[in-house]
Amino acid sequence: MVEHCCRMMSFEIQETNAVPSADSDHLVRYDERQNSYALVIPNDPAGRAMPISYCPWCATKLRRVRARGLAVMTPDTCRAARKAVSMTQRQLAEAIGESLSTLFRYEMGKPTDQAVAEKLLRFFEECQIAVDRSGRIGRYQP
Ligand SMILES: [Zn+2]
């Protein structure tokens, strides 16, 4: 199940898939294979859709959401990504607004709040560090 940027988006996609007829009021199509979002053109005989880059409801840039939906943050990923941005545990903890001990526990693989992994993903994305679905890291292509 892919996580979308907001509840409106998730709802619209669910409804669009449920009622694919021309009478449907729900117009966002999500292509899971290509990870792309598109607005269905109403009453178009060819059933075409216009690709969109931002969520019409919450204005999230959809590429970021896509990365977040598929990315997997693990303690190993965190350590590798932290090395890639040349930060100490203390610096990274400060950057994501968590305590040093929380980050230390996370990197040790101890149970932490799911929010920690999400903050890490977001932070590394901002540093242009991409994380894929197997937890490997790379750089976004410019
Ligand atoms: Zn949204």
pLDDT in tens, 72-107: 778 888 999 999 999 999 999 999 999 999 999 999
DSSP conformation letters of 95-138:
HHT--HHHHHHHHTT----HHHHHHHHHHHHHTTEEE-TTS-EE
CA of residue 61 to ligand 1 center, whole Å: 9
Q: Which domain holds residue 12?
A: 7-69
Please indicate, yes or no, if residue 97 is contained in any of the structural domains.
yes
Distance 101 CA to ligand 1 centre (A): 33
The structure tokens listed for 84 are 């890639």
Single residue among 69, 85, 111 that ends a domain in this structure: 69
Using the predicted structure, report yes or no on whether residue 111 has a pLDDT greater than 50: yes
Q: What's the gap in Å between 112 CA and the centre of ligand 1?
A: 27
Please state which of the ranges 17-21, 41-45, 85-89 shows the lowest mean pLDDT.
17-21
Same domain flag for 82 and 64: no
Q: What is the pLDDT of residue 67?
A: 43
Expressed in angstroms and rounded, the spacing between residue 54 Cα and the centre of ligand 1 is 8
Q: In Å, how far from its chain's centre is CA 126?
A: 12
Number of domains in the chain: 2
Is the residue at 2 inside a domain? no
Residue 46, sorted as left (phi over 0), alpha (psi -120 to 50) or beta, turns out to be: alpha
- 11 C-alpha to ligand 1 centroid (Å): 10
